[in-house]
Amino acid sequence: MTEPGLCRCPWAGSDPLYIRYHDEEWGVPKTRDSEFFEKTILEGFQSGLSWITILRKREAFRQAFDGFDAAKMAAYGDAKVAELLSNAGIIRHRGKIEAAIANARAYLKLAEEQSLTAFLWGFVNGEAIQNRFASAAEVPPETPLSRAISKELKARGFRFTGPTTTYSLMQACGLVNDHLVSCHRHGACAALARPQIPVAARGIHFRPDLL
């Protein structure tokens, strides 16, 4: 539960929905494929828009995309695309809708080799990167690591996963702790930074030069 009067990252603003998201979700290390997949889809829809827009429509997105069931999404055809384009509750952007379907198919293809969770955590050797930014101006829109992950995702068929969108995904899912050091959530998220994948799976993608 959120508390008033706490120091937060400036982007949290004053909207109760945004504050709750900041205090309870953003930066918390995710460990389930369903969480990573949903965030990947929503981050793609967020591209070029504000995250609060997506948050306000998140439940509508979940209903429209069958709870982000990848198998169901991968089977969507023209009729479903037309239905989604007429759904005022979501972002009606054909390119992003088609990308979401492509991402479901890419997600299922990746699952034949490894989970999306292991794939993404592998890039940071299983442990969240702890940044110590003092101001929002210091937080980068993308990094060499997000560019490397973006390149791999695109090579595997994922779409709307550019370096900036990928870095936003990393922040949201806790692969990197970008809460400002003055924010009450920085320490809380840092305390959750622990190995997120089995030791045997680490290092598959690990590039210390990109950290």
Tens-digit pLDDT profile for residues 4-32: 679 999 999 999 999 999 999 999 999 99
Catalytic residue among 21, 76, 107, 167: 21
Percentage, residues of the chain above pLDDT 90: 88
Average pLDDT over residues 155-159: 98
CB-CB neighbours of 195 under 10 Å? 14
Q: Which residue has the higher pLDDT, 204 or 105?
A: 105
Distance between CA 37 and CA 158 in Å, rounded? 11
Provide the 8-state DSSP code for 29.
P
Locus of tokens 């981050």: 43
Residue 35 bears catalytic tag: no
Residue 98 bears catalytic tag: no
pTM to 2 decimal places: 0.90
Distance between CA 205 and CA 23 in Å, rounded? 30
Kindly tell me if the per-residue pLDDT of 204 is higher than 90. no
Distance between CA 78 and CA 185 in Å, rounded? 43
Domain 14-21+29-210: state its class.
Answer: mainly alpha
Tens-digit pLDDT profile for residues 57-98: 999 999 999 999 999 999 999 999 999 999 999 999 999 999
Whether the Cβ atoms of residue 96 and residue 45 lie closer than 8 Å to each other:
yes
Catalytic residue among 26, 43, 76, 121: 43
Distance between CA 127 and CA 116 in Å, rounded? 15
Write down the number of H helices and E strands in the chain. 10, 2
Residue 121 bears catalytic tag: no
What pLDDT does residue 196 have? Answer: 55
Whether the Cβ atoms of residue 85 and residue 91 lie closer than 8 Å to each other:
no
Whether the Cβ atoms of residue 98 and residue 41 lie closer than 8 Å to each other:
no
Catalytic residue among 11, 25, 51, 152: 51
